[in-house]
Amino acid sequence: MIAAGTGSAPMVVTALMLVVIATLLIGARGVAIRSTSDFLVASRRLSPTVNAAAVSGEYLSAASFLGVAGLVVKDGIGALWYPVGFTAGYVLMLALVAAPMRRTGALTVPDFAQARLGSPGLRRLCAVAVIAIAVLYLVPQFKAAGLLLNLVGGTPYWVGVVVAGAAVSITLALGGMRAATYVQAFQFALKMVLFTVPAIWLLVHVGAETRSSALTPVEFTTFAQETPVEFRLDTRLTITEPTTVAVDGQPPQVLAPGDYTARTGSTWRFAAGSDVPDVAGAVAPGGESWTRPLLDPSGAGFPLLATLSVLVATVLGTMGLPHIVVRFHTSADGWGARRTAAITVAMLSAFYLFPAVYGLLGAALLPELFLTGGTDTVVVALPSRVDTGWAGQLVTAMLTAGAFAAFLATSLGLLLALSGAVSHDLMSTAAPVRRLRFTTLAAALVVVALALPAAHLDISVLVTSAFAVAASTFCPLLVLGLWWSGLTARGAAAGMVVGLLASAGVIVVGLLASPPPGLVSVLLGQPALWSVPLAFATMVLVSLRGTAPAWAPAAMLRLHLDERRARNRSS
């Protein structure tokens, strides 16, 4: 594959610096807000539109910016169901969660558990789930950052991950994202521009022939021209025809049919007209199953089941994401929170029309990426493939800056949610600022350590695992807690434990055991389809065996009263 090239490095570095400086400058405006009460009062003045931009800004992570297009190249058109699920989650949030959740006054789900059910034990259990979700969501963000720096700067993957960890830690040490709502709203506008403008440029620039070949894909079976393929991971290739290959600049040799291993970092230059080798667990772009609009990862053979499982996880999981729940608290009241959710649906819809552009053009122009385990790089690799001049370099710089902004915004929000859960909910006393900051740095270290061996995992797939855990634990807790007064603390705890084991536990088992493609691998890899109903059933059945306290109906019902009317009456 073609690296973005060292020629664009100065421009990329400049773009990255601009993103970071703009973020810090807008954050500095927040210095005017000085005390806790200022902070709380300021939040009341923000319109639902600004809030929705902030929600979208924090939500659009590296998985949306890079991962979805990468999965389109790897798995096909069906991967476009991921962004549908990412967006539809907010419709559910709007219908079931936003307004009553805002009225609990709870900033996090552990807060909510204690406020609604009055159980400190449940609060700690929720904190454990927050940690599981945040770690599963953070690891792919750091993977994306490592990959980006690897692609642009040519540094090894691990250096990229460590540099990304350092960048996050420094931003946190400088005071995190002050005036976070404005910063996140700015981040949304930034990502929107840095994603859509390059997409339109690419569409115009590739020409009519490439546009039509992107829409009528042919299975990638032979190299049309001499193609260098740079392997990002050790990859086992099966060659079926004698193939002429030049490895790492050595003179070309003819490889006999058989199995070969391409080492990490090596470049194989395939001769024009030679056959594309097979890679275990990957399908070549453009084939029969690739063009079907259903998800069938690595040809497991259960497209409908896999598609629905991803949709269940993403749609039901959105409401339980720790960095998003906090964002809804910035709305003045339940009315504002509901409007925020509705506007967020429209904003995300606009953004998610574009990953398909990168995915389809990537499959047409850079199909060899599927061999390398580096499909997540397709967004950033495309401009230099289309234009080797300054325009291509500029667009590469824009996309790199946007992807890094996506990584930064989501990671900071998640790290703060994660360290908040550790220091507020798991440890028992009020946390001083110093300890909160120490916890955040420790969490960043742990995530960097976990991201190092995660180079071969797909960003969007791992993020969807985080959604699956949120859907199996917090979705039943929130939905039942907000709408059913019969929920007991014991029932909630039992359902949470079952949901946590059935989602996080099963995903870890699936990663370690790596079962062969088939029904089992689909059910282990994306367990939401069965783990969410299981968690709901456990919560309801265990609650029915006990009795909720006498104050439970009042605690639940008051969440559905409009606070404006209540204020008017009392004044």
Partner 1 sequence: MTRQRRVVVTSPQTRVALARRRLGHTALPPHLAPGDLERARRIHREQLRWALVAVALLCAVIVGIPLLLAAFPGLDDVRVFGVPLSWLAVGVLPYPLLIALSRWQLRRAERIERAP
Q: Which of residues 88-107 bind partner 1 (CB under 8 A)?
A: 88, 90-92, 94-96, 99, 104-107
The least distance separating partner 1 from the CB of residue 345, rounded to whole angstroms, comes to: 4
Choose which of 118, 265, 486, 515 interacts with partner 1 (CB under 8 A): 118
Question: Toward partner 1, which CB reaches closer, 213 or 396?
Answer: 213
Residue from the set 9, 22, 39, 197 that interacts with partner 1 by CB under 8 A: 39
- Nearer to partner 1 among residue 44 and residue 558 (C-beta): 558
Per the CB < 8 A criterion, the answer to whether 196 and 354 are in contact is yes
Q: Which is closer to partner 1, CB of 18 or CB of 304?
A: 304
Give me the helix-helix angle, 390-420 and 48-59, nearest 10°: 100
- Report how many residues bind partner 1 under the rule CB under 8 A: 78
> Is residue 571 at the binding interface for partner 1, with CB under 8 A as the rule?
no
Q: Considering only the stretches 19-27, 218-226, 269-277, 308-316, report the one whose residues sit in contact with partner 1 under the rule CB under 8 A.
A: 308-316
| Contacting partner 1 within 9-38 (CB under 8 A) | 31, 34-36
State yes or no: residue 294 binds partner 1 (CB under 8 A).
yes
Decide if residue 335 touches partner 1 (CB under 8 A). yes
**Which residue, 247 or 345, is less far from partner 1 as judged by CB?**
345
User: Could you say whether residue 339 binds partner 1 (CB under 8 A)?
Assistant: yes
Instruction: Count how many Cα atoms sit within 13 Å of the Cα of residue 6 in the half-sphere of its side chain.
Output: 2
End-to-end CA distance of the chain: 68
3-class secondary structure for 215-235?
HCCCCCCECCCCEEEECCCCE
Shortest distance, CB of residue 413 to partner 1, whole angstroms? Answer: 15
Closest distance to partner 1 from the beta carbon of 83 (Å) = 9
- Spatial neighbors of 303 by CB under 8 A, at least 6 apart, are 78, 289, 292, 294, 295, 296
- Least distance in angstroms from the C-beta of 386 to partner 1: 20
Determine, following the binding rule CB under 8 A, whether residue 341 of this chain makes contact with partner 1. yes
> Which of 25, 170, 346, 544: binder of partner 1 (CB under 8 A)?
346
The one-letter amino acid code at 425 reads D
Please list every residue from 492 through 521 that binds partner 1, using CB under 8 A. none
Question: Which residues lie closer than 8 Å to 390 by C-beta, 6 or more apart?
Answer: none
Give the one residue of 9, 13, 84, 246 binding partner 1; rule: CB under 8 A: 84
Q: Report the nearest approach of partner 1 to the CB of residue 283 (Å).
A: 16
For every residue of 466-523, which 3-state class applies, written as one string?
A: HHHHHHHHHHHHHHHHHHCCCCCHHHHHHHHHHHHHHHHHHHHHHHHHCCCCCHHHHH
Kindly write down the DSSP assignment for every residue of 224-286, as one continuous string.
SS-EEEE-SS-EEEEE-S-EEEEETTSPPEEEPSEEEEEPTT-EEEEPTTPBPPEETT---TT
The reply on whether position 317 binds partner 1 by CB under 8 A is: no
Alpha-carbon distance 521 to 542, whole Å? 30
Contacts of 96 (CB under 8 A, 6+ apart): 319, 478, 479, 482, 483
253-255, strands of its sheet edge to edge: 227-230, 267-270, 243-247, 253-255
Find the binder of partner 1 among 323, 329, 385, 490 (CB under 8 A).
329
Q: Which amino acid is at 153?
A: G
HEC-encoded secondary structure of 10-61: HHHHHHHHHHHHHHHHHHHHHHHCCCHHHHHHHHHCCCHHHHHHHHHHHHCC
Interactions with partner 1, residue window 355-414 (CB under 8 A): 356
Could you tell me the CA-to-CA distances from 105 to 101, 109, 317 in Å, in that order?
7, 11, 21
Q: Which stretch binds partner 1 (CB under 8 A): 49-57, 375-383, 487-495, 561-569?
A: 561-569
Nearer to partner 1 (CB atom), residue 88 or residue 365: 88
In this chain, which of 24, 197, 203, 342 binds partner 1, going by CB under 8 A? Answer: 342
Q: What is the CA radius of gyration of the chain?
A: 24
Q: What would the two tokens of residue 345 be? A: 């649906």
Give 123 or 191: the residue with its C-beta nearer to partner 1: 123
Of positions 13, 22, 42, 308, contacts partner 1 by CB under 8 A:
308
Sole binder of partner 1 in the list 115, 197, 511, 540 (CB under 8 A): 115
> Closest approach of Cβ 88 to partner 1, in Å?
5
Region of 182-190, 277-285, 429-437, 438-446 interacting with partner 1 (CB under 8 A): 429-437
Residue closer to partner 1 by CB (options 110, 198) is: 110
Strand pairing category for 227-230 and 243-247: unpaired
Q: Please report how close the Cβ of residue 40 comes to partner 1 at its closest, in angstroms.
A: 8
**Residue 36 or 250: which CB sits closer to partner 1?**
36
Q: Is 530 in the site for partner 1 (CB under 8 A)?
A: no
Residue 352 Cβ, how far from partner 1 at the closest point, in Å?
Answer: 7
Binding-residue pattern over the window 437 to 476 for partner 1, x denoting contact by CB under 8 A: ----------------------------------------
Task: Tell me how far, at minimum, the Cβ of 364 lies from partner 1, in Å.
Answer: 14
Mapping DSSP to helix (H, G, I), strand (E, B) and coil, where does residue 156 land? coil
Instruction: Give the footprint of partner 1 on residues 189-218 (CB under 8 A).
Output: 212, 215
> Least distance (Å) from partner 1 to the CB of residue 551?
4
2 touches partner 1 (CB under 8 A): no
Minimum distance from residue 77 beta carbon to partner 1 (Å): 5
192 in Cβ contact with 351 (< 8 Å): yes
- For residue 432, the 8-state DSSP code is P
Q: Which is nearer to partner 1, 158 or 335 (CB)?
A: 335
One residue of 204, 256, 430, 512 binding partner 1 per CB under 8 A: 430
Which is nearest to 470 in space by CA: 527, 537, 525, 542?
527
Cβ pair 304, 120 in contact under 8 A:
no
Joined tokens for residue 230: 């740079």
Using rule CB under 8 A, residue 560 touches partner 1: yes
